[in-house]
A and B are shown apart, each in its own frame.
Chain A
């Protein structure tokens, strides 16, 4: 399902999600060339520099949480994507607390909680 698409992964992302992307036919590239930016930690220097880049200022560099890929796999959606990527936005670290106060915890925080449970679903 990722065939022909190019993604960048922050060094904060564990090998799992990256492997899912590649297994789904996606390519890896640097962040300026990537169509999809994945990170698991907005405080990581490589992610922070994206959030401080001109491209982000222009609204052309939304970073998504890498657990989107795990969520796809869990939903059995690796063939046809049904998990809404738009729910997995990873905003700049300095905004997260404020956003959390207004809308509750992020979906990727809920997903992380689910991931910690070793349940066979």
Chain B
């Protein structure tokens, strides 16, 4: 019954190789992002999520922006530290 999950584990992606609960909802994305050998499955997921995040960031910044004088900055790719200063 677990053959489908083992198939992907063969690819040595850290998202696939990390067993059980060695990461959690807070750390999983960071772990995948730092993985050098992402499998297709996780690469596609991560890329889609990243694009989604960027779109969400932009729309959030747009709606929270009351000063249109910074329009050009808002249209530039959103840097993480604009959102949040915590490490």
| Interface size counted on chain B using CB atoms at 8 A | 38
Q: What is the interface residue range for chain A against chain B? A: 35 or more
- Show the binding face of A for B, using Cβ within 8 Å: 1-2, 5, 34-37, 52, 54, 56-64, 71, 74-75, 77, 80-87, 89, 91-92, 94-95, 98-99, 102-103, 107, 110, 114, 121
Question: For chain B, what secondary structure do more than half of its interface residues adopt (helix, strand, loop), or is it mixed?
Answer: helix
B55 to chain A: closest residue by CB: A94
B21 x A5 contact (CB < 8 A): yes
A107 x B4 contact (CB < 8 A): yes
> With A87-B8, A114-B1 as given contacts, are A59 and B52 in contact (CB-CB < 8 Å)?
no
> With A35-B26, A36-B25, A84-B9 as given contacts, are A102 and B44 in contact (CB-CB < 8 Å)?
yes
B40 x A103 contact (CB < 8 A): yes
Kindly state whether residue B45 has any CB partner on chain A within 8 Å. yes
